[in-house]
Amino acid sequence: AQVENALQDFLATWSSHGTPLKASAFCFEQAAIVVAADELVAKASGCSIDKITHLVQALGQQLNVDFFDRFNVLQKQTDEWNIVRFHPEFHAQCISASMVSLEEFNKKAGN
């Protein structure tokens, strides 16, 4: 709940060159943070991306998770999600960044 609250507080004031960004975010299993901005409303600028990056880094420190370590992947084992180190032989079980929808994510996650 602390991470979700921090994300919502941040998004309430997140802007790009003074224009509020329409965005949403959530933390998945205390292991991944998903942020989406509607760029039809306003495009995220370099400064606004830096701000969300710093927030995610700070949240990672609180959770003791390096959200920027690309070799950390989520893997569903039985009924729980765990962060595991990426190994090429496990690639079929990894959730890819190329997914296009939450429905596809849920299908792969078995939800």
Distances (CA, A) of 94 to 63, 71, 78, 105, 110: 22, 11, 15, 11, 12
Question: Of 11, 17, 73, 77, whose CA–CA distance to 42 is shortest?
Answer: 17
CB 39 within 8 A of CB 14: no
Mean pLDDT over 73-94 rounds to 75
Q: Report pLDDT digits (tens) over 12-70.
A: 999 999 999 999 999 888 788 999 999 999 999 999 999 999 999 999 998 888 889 88
Task: Please state whether the predicted TM-score (pTM) of the whole model is above 0.75.
Answer: no
pLDDT digits (tens, 9 = 90+) for 15-26: 999 999 999 999
In the chain, the amino acid numbered 19 is T
Residue spans of the domains in the chain: they are 2-63, 72-109
pLDDT, residue 104, reads 67
